[in-house]
A and B are shown apart, each in its own frame.
Chain A
Amino acid sequence: MNLAEWRERDSLYEASARRRVLGLLDQHSFQEILGPAERITSPHLEQLGFPVSFDDGVVIGSGLLNGKKVLIAAQESGFMGGAVGEVHGAKITGLLQLALISPVTAVLLVLDTGGVRLHEANAGLVAISEILHAAFRVREAGIPILVLIGGSNGCYGGMGIFARCCDYVIMSEEGRLSVAGPEVIETAGGVEEFDSRDRALVWRTMGGKHRYLLGDADRLVVDDIQAFRAVAIEVMQKPKPLSLESILREHQCLGERLVAYGECKDAFDIWKKLGIPEFGAIPLMDNDSFHAIVKPYLPKEGTEEETEHDR
């Protein structure tokens, strides 16, 4: 991507949830479910005197992706940090249950969230657990779930665990994926443990490039809605069934990771151990040069056949 193309790109990071949905799906195909006109808001935020949103911060519905019927949900980064409350979570759970009733090719989830909405703490936590249980039924039915991460909130907390329970994680460099967020780690361990204001540190610890290099993200794309769409089209008919074999393979990979990188203090140490000579320059590489440079150092297994996890 040259500079002119980069300027012309349709940034997912900067787009609203609704804009993301419209850009990902085929034109004029989106049909929203429980849209703002239905005024389904969070009763708990209201009780606390907080502003509510008519979609409770998540847009859901059906549409076409390259002519195939899909379901889609996108979290609104600007509302409560994309966090999951009772209604917000139930919309996603209901959408996943709908996939079992009215068959679709795939489910796309554009996640942009700090995790549990602490204003609805208990209900938020169980809401994410319900999303997870519903997602496993969808996977069992052979319908792949694609998680897209590239928004300003990243994907944290229970939703960070959930994302890795789906078939595919597609990230941009701008995306971040973790369970404990920077501020949480800093609050627990002090600034010596983690300086949450050090943006470079945050991105190389949790950002898209690092997650892709270790295999926690299946794909890394440039921050362009059309780039996310292209990868979604490519993988949407390739479910990755959860089987004993696939889980054992993942177990082996995660075990090897503990041994190989357990002593590493920083992402730079890991990238160096991966054998990438230009490891120090990785954070500044654009998407194309990053892929060109790191390709030989990605473990071979799984790159073509999209096995559970693990490149």
Chain B
Amino acid sequence: MTVDHTLDKLFSGGYHIKKDGLVISGFGVCHGQTVAIIGTIDHAAIGIESAFTLAAAVLEVIQHFPQRPILLMVDTQGQRLTQRDELLANNSYLAHLAKCLELAHHRGHRVVSLVYGEAVSGGFFATGMMAERAYALPDAQIRVMALQAMTRVTKIPLEQLDELCKTSAIFGPGITNFVRLGIIEDVWQGDLGNCLDRALRLPADYDNRAELGCERGGREWAAKVAFRVRTSAEKA
């Protein structure tokens, strides 16, 4: 779905965004509540400039609109892969963006994300995955890497990976897998305004993705292992 079409459905009270390259920022009105909109369009590859512009948008909300909830609109093919981006340290720009979102959360802004286009590895990591909860539209594409590329890197035959994907959510792309792993809280369908409103009413609690992944049967080890480590002191 295009960003305009998605925003139309999210904000029946109207919205206003400006575009700066592939970065969008602005606000919309959902069920009478003003929500900041920050995100990317056209499967943006997030390089140093985009990460910086996104960070600026988050800081503007923090400085001028205390407590205003933030909706991150995710459509990214990942971090931009150029020498120049790494020369100037894209990791520091993406880290800065992550810190800005953490600061927003810390100062009482609700931060939720919606994958409406594509979400891939590093670009998703520093945006959508920094939200308190991440959601997706049914036709969104989420992946770390395509199975063909994974075959190349891991030397595991494609047939074997395909077979594994039938039972495990760990390897393959797709919304269903990311829901089972607890990464995506829920898929938004029907009245998107209602979905957003409901999400904003949930408490801004701690990261529960590992527990969710365990409950949903997609990822049993993360929660168990972390639990064993943090309770190790009691035994010692």
CA distance A179 to B181 in the complex (A): 24
A248-264, CB under 8 A of B: which get 1 and which 0? 10110011011001101
Q: Mark B45-56, 1 if CB is under 8 A from A, else 0.
A: 000110010011
Partner of A121, one of B102, B144, B213: B144
Q: Verify B154–A33 contact, CB threshold 8 A.
A: no
B1 within 8 Å of A by Cβ? no
Residues of A within 8 A of B56 (CB): 251
CB pair B95–A242 under 8 Å, yes or no, is no
Could you say which interface size class chain A belongs to? 35 or more
Q: Is the CB of B164 within 8 A of A48?
A: yes
Say yes or no for B87: interface residue by CB 8 A criterion: yes
Q: Which residues of A contact B150 (CB under 8 A)?
A: 118, 121
Flag if A205 contacts B87 (CB, 8 Å): yes
Chain B residues numbered 65-100 whose CB sits less than 8 Å from any CB in chain A: 79, 81-96, 98-100
Q: How far is the CA of A280 from the CA of B219 in the complex (A)?
A: 50
For window 6-62 of B, CB contacts with A under 8 Å fall at 48-49, 52, 55-56, 59, 62
Q: How many A-B residue pairs have CB under 8 A?
A: 242
**Which of A12-20, A157-165, A222-230, A296-304 is the interface stretch?**
A157-165
Flag if B86 contacts A31 (CB, 8 Å): no
B89, B121, B156, B169: the one within 8 Å of A211 (CB) = B89
A180 at interface (Cβ–Cβ under 8 A)? yes
**A41-55 at interface with B (beta carbon < 8 Å):** 43-44, 47-48
A278 contact set on B, CB distance < 8 A: none
Query: Which chain B residues have a beta carbon within 8 Å of chain A's beta carbons?
Result: 48-49, 52, 55-56, 59, 62-63, 79, 81-96, 98-100, 102-103, 106-107, 121-122, 124-126, 129-130, 143-145, 150, 153-154, 156, 160, 164, 168-172, 177-178, 181-183, 206-207, 209-210, 213, 219, 221-230, 232-233, 236
